[in-house]
Amino acid sequence: MAGSGKAHLRDEALLRVEDLTVEFPIGRDRAVKAVSGISFDIAKGETLGLVGESGCGKSTTGRAILQLPAPTSGQVILDGTDLTSLEGPEMRKHRTNLQMIFQDPISSLNPRRAVGEVVAEPLNVWGPHDEDEQWKLVSEQLEAVGIDPDVARNKYPHEFSGGQCQRISIARALVMDPQLIICDEPVSALDVSVQAQILNMLKDLKDRYGLTLVFIAHDLAVVKNISDRVAVMYLGKMCEVSESNELYANPAHPYTRLLLESIPLPDPTADLDTTLQSEVELPSPLDPPSGCRFRTRCPFADEICEREEPQMRRVSGDHYVACHHPLIEPTETNVGLE
């Protein structure tokens, strides 16, 4: 089930997103409701895993944080500044504090520029403008991601593998020393062995530079290894927010349990659970269900799920869920309900 609310928000955070809504008009009177009033926050030095099925609004949320495009409504507060209130040069200046690592590493790099130029491009705009100083910074970041700067400086992206291109993309994101990096499914296009290398590298870079990350993915097995906290999305709504190990051990939302049970086991003799197969048609973001958006697929749905949208409430500690019938009963009645 998917709902709204702010009970899970903390008092202090580097990034605080409140009531974020993103809609894309279709024709005169219709719109794709990509993100519908979600709220979450990220503490400095923390990694938030943002997970859900394809089309749930994860990548749209990441781009809305960058104001690309600007959200339809809501607030995106970075270190005390509401980015949604900024325009023009002021927004471009603040955007240097935010960087993004894209899903397709090869197409995210300019094929007409050498790697040294690609990584140095942000510095050409914001400085330092001295060529030697620029190369010192570029060289440091390329070495940090495991790329030989002297070899890569005059080569082009097509001369590198997908994993190497993703390392170069990460170096480009780091060169501006941002406060927050948004990783939009950065390993989904890579081989499994390369995925592990990139994830381990991101963890090392996080410890080295004190990075704050939003890690967007649909693979919960990947997210578990890198995230401190996990937020689960469904059809533009927030379902569940929890510390990573707690969420994997004790999912409180039927949708979260469905995602966890869909992770394939590395055992060819394991029996398949055919009860997870759904015969209902998946709802559309053009016309989402009333009340709880997950109710058309939920085995526990009843009349209240159809009438009322569930609100975030605490089930234990730092574990919150938006569900009328959570798999874990709250420790106290309506604790954290907003």
pLDDT tens digits, residue range 148-158? 999 999 999 99
The pTM assigned to this predicted structure is: 0.91
Average pLDDT over residues 257-269: 81
Query: How many other C-beta atoms are found inside a 10 Å radius of the C-beta of residue 323?
Result: 27
Residue-level pLDDT at 261: 85
pLDDT at 268: 76
Q: What is the rounded average pLDDT of the residues 89-107?
A: 91
Q: How confident is the model at residue 193 (pLDDT cuts 50, 70, 90)?
A: confident
pLDDT at 190: 85
Residue 282 phi/psi, 5-degree rounding, is: -65, 135
pLDDT digits 0-9 by tens, 51-65: 999 889 999 999 999
pLDDT at 2: 52
Residue 175 pLDDT greater than 80, yes or no: yes
Residue 275: what pLDDT? 58
Q: Provide the pLDDT confidence category of residue 332 given band limits of 50, 70 and 90.
A: low
Q: Say whether pLDDT at 305 is over 60.
A: yes
Mean of the per-residue pLDDT values of the chain: 90
